[in-house]
Amino acid sequence: MKKRFKVLAVCGSGTVTSSMVALKLKEALEDEGISISTTEAKPTEALNLISGGGYDFIINTSPLIAGDYGVPIINAVGFLTGFGEEEFIENIMKVIKDINNK
């Protein structure tokens, strides 16, 4: 079972919000024995970064530019605001389970 995942965290500026969400997710997943490495990016950078490969999924607080990302995309706004945290973590765990079942 894969226990380490590479995540692309996307927000409007590519720094502050994506970093906050990424750190919060790292902490939440540590309790589950899962570690992640993250790269923070702007929506305009996401498609290019993801095409380089290696990412397991994307978390975003800003809309992504239309395109084929080829990995699951999970909206992280609720995780950022605190309203919808449990649903966000459930979605992340489902994606992780799906990846591990491939």
Catalytically annotated residues: 11
Q: Are 80 and 94 in contact (CB under 8 A)?
A: no
Burial 7-32 (b: 16+ CB within 10 A, else e): bbbbbeebeebbebbbebbeebbeee
Give the whole-angstrom CA distance, residue 87 versus residue 63: 19
> From edge to edge, which strands make up the β-sheet containing 35-41?
35-41, 4-10, 57-60, 73-75
